[in-house]
Structure 1
Amino acid sequence: MAPLEQLVFDNTYARLPPGFAARVAPAPFPDAHVVSVNPAALRLLGLDADAATRPEFAQVFGGARLLPGMEPLAMVYAGHQFGGYVPRLGDGRALLLGEVRAPDGAKWDLHLKGGGPTPFSRGGDGRAVLRSTLREYLAGEALHALGIPSTRALCVLGSRTPVYREDVETGAMLVRLAPSHVRFGTFEFFHHTGQPGHVATLADHVLTHHFPHLLEPGPEGRHARFFAEVVERTARLVAGWQAVGFAHGVMNTDNMSILGLTLDYGPYGFLDDFDPGFICNHSDPQGRYAFNQQPRIALWNLACLGEALLTLITEDEARAALGAFQPSFAAHFLARMREKLGLTEARDGDRALVEDLFAVMARSHVDYTRFFRALNRFDSQPDARNAPLRDHFLPPEDFDAWAARYRARLASEGSEDAVRSARMDRVNPKYVLRNWVAQQTIARAQEGDFAEVDRVLALVSAPFDEHPGSEAYAAAPPSWGRHLVVSCSS
């Protein structure tokens, strides 16, 4: 494991032509201190646990001390926000400090959020607050542990410096990791500003460093195959969101990763009571980004990306790729739901079995995560009443009717309860980052109690384990924590 000074940088994005980013020096907090460090992210970079205890850790990752090889820059991009095109956005409070080549050969962007103003700040202060940094820090690890592609987070750094939002809040910084932070909106910026050469340069940069397998000759051009794979990755990503009950909350095209990662955690939320139209974003009263709208919006966003690539691919190639989204999403989603139901074989009636379950769950406002975890203990005997499961439903006969079909479906493939239960324990989490848990963690951190951050990080990083003594974190929301919504403010 290397000390910080031995991190190796290979800044491929910084070598792109002028116009892709602005060189910016960080504006660090004068009193930055460590709030939490993610041990898994340290390992990704080849750092040992002691690295976080060194005085220079907060200085380096807070932007006060640049390591040899760091080249801070703010990336330019545009994007469709709530359906309207905004021609110039960019990293308004984030800086790409550099790209680390880890000992295993992987490349990781070091992306500092809250490092001060940039040319893209649009009058903002370039700062982040403890509330939003903790939400992103915990959520990235939560989704990663659930098997859903996501940016990761290395650390949260705190400060006593006040930051002004709706109220005066505690300033903070987040260092997140991803193989790339290129977005749909990065391509849109160059397309809509009439720079087709830069669209091609960006596409080939992404292909070279993240899709090298597509550079081999094939029946279609590399750019058509590139767009088709982005469609496929996005379909798989959103299928994962839907299967675990995750609402992103602000699916603007500038928040969509070209690699198919969950990017830019803002007003997200995991389902508590199952509500297909769940809106987690206070700034989205019309429900454009409601939970059940996410697949449709993902396809709409992909169409915006396809338009931005029309100097590299034909309209027919774009339509063909987009046409594959819905079948791919449906297949990935149904595969995940079969796993959640403990099914090992694909049958024609499986989609109806899932949809009918969702219908009765919605009528009874059943807690999504708790129900599927309880379903792991379903008794498939013909006379079994499964009282703990029936108690989730009003009236319980709604469950009985569905359970009879489920029992027959299990029997048709010779399912054994004990074997199935163990298998389902590995796909139906006990712990997700519920909004009430996140809010409680934030409140304690704002009072100076950072131990809760590490406690919750450990739970969501191993969500399928029992964690004896932590059952309260898997409970239904308390009265104050029901139906929490979050705004875009950060």
Structure 2
Amino acid sequence: MVKSPAYNPDPRILELGPDFYDEVAPAMFPEAKLRFANHGWAKRVGLGAYMRPAWERHFARFEPLPGNLEAPLALRYHGHQFRTYNPDLGDGRGFLFAQLRDDKGRLLDLGTKGSGQTPYSRQGDGRLTLKGGVREVFATEMLEALGVETSKSFALFETGESLWRSDEPSPTRSAVLTRLGHGHIRIGTFQRFAFHRDKPAIVALTRYCLEHLYGEKPPENDKDAANRLFDLVADRTARLAASYMSSGFVHGVLNSDNIAITGESFDYGPWRFAPYWNPRFTAAYFDGEGLYSFARQPEAIQWDLAQLGGCLGLVTSERKLNPILSDWGRRFDEQLVALLLARLGIRPGHADDDRKLAEALVAALATESVTIDRVFFDWRGGRRRDDERYDSPEFRTLADRLEGRENHAALAHPYWSDDAPCSMHIEEVEARWSAIDARDDWKPFEAKITAIRRMGEAMSAPIETAGA
């Protein structure tokens, strides 16, 4: 086995002790067909030299990585699901497989989805459908390309089992997914220990998160540590909510057990990208009340943050936490303005002008005359389109706001000369899945990943700074 000098195992989760997790055994799968491997991120965590047999051993058979966890760990947590508290949660079809440092020194987790039953499976089979795995690859790749802090799909193996699901034509094909993320501690992790009134566990979690996930030395005083963590999570979740809105993404299930303490987006089930800026657009067929609809996502995430505040209230005082929670809306608004302008390729300027530009952009998007992706593509860098689709008062106001703020450097990548933007609407997902399901044809899937990454290159290209 080739071991890269860049590989830096660091299983810090063990510091928390066995009250936080259960050792589990991975499922034994009949087959292991590698369908997706994220070689770019493998290189960044020191696993780039691994050949296909090693990928199968570690990410389908789950042989421990060198110097890492000796056994997978199913993490314990509770959570609110659609605002109803559920103490019967935990990693039910996944586990923490390894922890390691990336090329920037961040502690990352390799976790799984569909790796078998655990003590928290609740009568489930612990498996993942192949379609679910394909969908998660698409979600993470698209969000990463759009600049959203998201978990990364690391490896997807088809596993040769037939699964029965009520929401998919069955029997359907099975898979196991390994994903790379910045921590698997959730708001729901804190909720579990608050439920049991376990203050020492909350203190330990707080210090773990500050030191290993935020890279800060925890204050000696437990109250100060709790206050600091809440402030950091408020910032990260405000950015998370703003990034969902600016990317036109609807997560679908923003329960408190699906909110990572780092504010990194993860755990993709019924997600969708909204074609139009429709506030009522929902992703989950079971979200009849629209609790997690497009425009209500900020409200949902702030509500989840409040649940974390309730947990930390066992350590510190509400008097310290409430001002941070009350300030969340301002943080969200500022992040949304910044992210909308960044996606448009416009340099930041005077705060009031930026806010008015963002308001004009949202008003134009809200006409629902053109898709979200198309608007950002056509108006990138402040360029104007002489198109009847944009002949409305809202788009004329947007054009006025962009006057003098054009940024041609934002159009340097050849992607911006394409005929149409790269998008990921449900019809495109279904078409690519149909090719796999009907003909085992993975070419459309692979072509889409290539197109998404090309868009990501265009989006992440440096934008000329003011005065340059």
For Structure 1 versus Structure 2, the TM-score category normalised by the shorter chain is 0.7 to 0.9
Q: Distance in 1 between matches of 2:293 and 2:126?
A: 28
Matched, 1:324 2:314: no
**Distance in 2 separating the partners of 1:107 and 1:212:** 9
- Residues 44 and 102 of structure 2 are in contact (CA less than 8 Å); yes or no, is this contact kept in structure 1? yes
**Does residue 284 in structure 1 map to residue 287 in structure 2?**
yes
Shift in Å, 1:421: 4.8
User: Is residue 280–residue 290 contact of structure 1 (8 Å, CA) maintained in 2?
Assistant: yes
Q: 1:229 is matched with which residue: 227, 232, 235?
A: 232
Q: Using a 3 Å threshold, how does the CA distance of structure 1 residues 296 and 230 change in structure 2: closer, same or farther?
A: same
Give the structure 1 partner of residue 422 of structure 2. 431
Matched residue type, 2:35: V
- Read off the aligned partner of 2:231 and give its amino acid letter: A
Superposed CA offset, 1:375-433 (max 9, x none)? 137656xxxxx432x32x5xx3x2xx33443343333xx3356456559988x993233
Question: Aligned with 1:26: secondary structure?
Answer: coil
Structure 1 residues 106 and 353, CA gap change in structure 2 (3 angstroms): closer
Equivalent residue in structure 2 for 1:415, among 405, 409, 412? 405
- 1:439-482 Cα deviation digits (max 9, x unpaired): 22222233322233322222222325689xxxxxxxxxxxxxxx
User: Per-residue deviation at 1:315?
Assistant: 0.4
Per the alignment, do residues 73 and 343 of structure 1 end up closer, same or farther by CA in structure 2, a change over 3 Å counting? closer
Name the residue aligned to 1:443. 434
2:350 maps to 346
Q: CA deviation at 1:239?
A: 0.7
In the alignment, is residue 238 of structure 1 matched against residue 237 of structure 2? no
1:6-25 correspondence runs (5 A): 9-25=9-25
Secondary structure in 1 matching 2:352: coil
The superposition leaves residues 124-154 of structure 1 with CA deviations (integer Å, 9 ceiling, x where unpaired) of 0100111111111221122122211111121
Q: CA deviation at 1:350?
A: 4.7
Query: TM-score with structure 1 length normalisation?
Result: 0.84
**Using the alignment, how far apart are the partners of 2:64 and 2:443 within structure 1?**
29
SS at match of 1:213: coil
When normalised by structure 2's length, the TM-score is 0.88
1:366 — aligned with what? 370
Partner of 1:473: none
Is the 1:36–1:157 contact (alpha carbons within 8 Å) kept by the matching residues of 2? yes
**RMSD between superposed Cα atoms in Å:** 2.9
Shift of 1:361: 3.6
- The SS at the match of 1:463 is helix
- Secondary structure of the 1:284 match is coil
Aligned twin of 1:462: 454
Give the CA deviation at 1:181: 0.5
Is residue 62 from structure 1 mapped to residue 64 from structure 2 by the alignment? no
Letter of the 2:290 partner, please give it: G
Task: Output the CA distance in 2 between the equivalents of 1:112 and 1:462.
Answer: 27
Which piece of structure 1 moves more, 283-292 or 351-360? Answer: 351-360
Q: Separation in 1 of the partners of 2:350 and 2:413?
A: 16
Residue 193 of structure 1 deviates from its aligned partner by 1.8
Alignment partner for residue 208 of structure 2, among 205, 208, 228? 205
Secondary structure of the 2:216 match is: helix
Secondary structure of 2:96's match?
Answer: strand
Letter in 1 for 2:63: R
Q: Is the 8 A contact 2:227 2:321 kept in 1?
A: yes
Distance 2:59 2:5 in 1: 12
| Contact 1:214 1:226 (C-alpha < 8 Å) held by counterparts | no
CA contact (8 A) 2:363 2:394 kept: no
Contact 1:339 1:424 in 2 (8 A): no
Report deviation, 1:34: 0.4
Counterpart residue number, 1:171: 174
Structure 2 CA distance for aligned equivalents of residues 174 and 459 of structure 1: 22
Cα distance in 1, alignment partners of residues 341 and 102 from structure 2: 36
Give runs of ≥4 in structure 1 deviating > 6 Å: 217-220, 423-426
1:309 paired to 2:308: no
CA offset at residue 370 of structure 1?
0.8
Distance 1:171 1:324, change over 3 A: same
C-alpha distance 347-6 of structure 1, shift in aligned 2 (>3 A): closer
Q: Distance in 2 between matches of 1:259 and 1:78?
A: 17
What is the SS of the residue equivalent to 1:238? helix
**1:7·1:100 contact (CA, 8 Å) conserved in 2?**
yes
- Map Cα deviations across residues 227-272 of structure 1 (whole Å, 9 max, x no partner): 0110011001111111111111110000001001001111111121
CA contact (8 A) 2:158 2:176 kept: yes
> 1:76·1:88 contact (CA, 8 Å) conserved in 2?
no
Greater mean deviation of Cα atoms: 63-72 or 23-32: 63-72
Q: Does the 8 Å CA contact 2:222/2:315 hold for their aligned counterparts?
A: no
Residue 51 of structure 1 aligns with which residue? 50
Give the conservation status (yes or no) of the 8 Å contact 1:61–1:175.
yes
Task: Mark the CA change 1:303 to 1:103 in structure 2 (over 3 Å): closer, same or farther.
Answer: closer
Contact between 1:227 and 1:306, CA under 8 Å: does it hold in 2? yes
How many residues are treated as equivalent by the alignment? Answer: 450
Partners of 2:113 and 2:4 lie apart in 1 by 19
Return 5+ residue gaps in structure 1 as ranges.
381-385, 468-490
2:27 equivalent in structure 1: 27
> 1:402 pairs with 375, 394, 398, which one?
394
SS in 2 for 1:99: strand
Paired amino acid for 2:376: F
The 8 Å contact of residues 9 and 100 in structure 2, kept in 1 or not, is answered as yes
2:109 matched to which residue of 1?
109
- Greater alpha carbon shift after TM alignment, 323-332 vs 370-379: 370-379
Deviation of 1:325 after TM superposition, in Å, equals 0.6
SS at match of 1:157: strand
User: Hey, what's the Cα distance between the residues in 2 that align with 1:338 and 1:110?
Assistant: 33
SS at match of 1:158: strand
CA distance in 1, matches of 2:366, 2:397: 18
Amino acid paired to 2:156: V
CA distance in 1, matches of 2:149, 2:188: 19
Mapped partners of 1:466, 1:351: distance in 2: 25
1:103-142 map, 5 Å:
105-142=105-142
Give % identity: 30
Quote how far apart the aligned CAs of 1:214 are.
5.0
Cα separation, 1, equivalents of 2:45 and 2:129: 25
SS of the counterpart of 2:144?
helix
Deviates more, 1:415-424 or 1:75-84: 415-424
User: What is the aligned partner in structure 1 of residue 251 from structure 2?
Assistant: 248
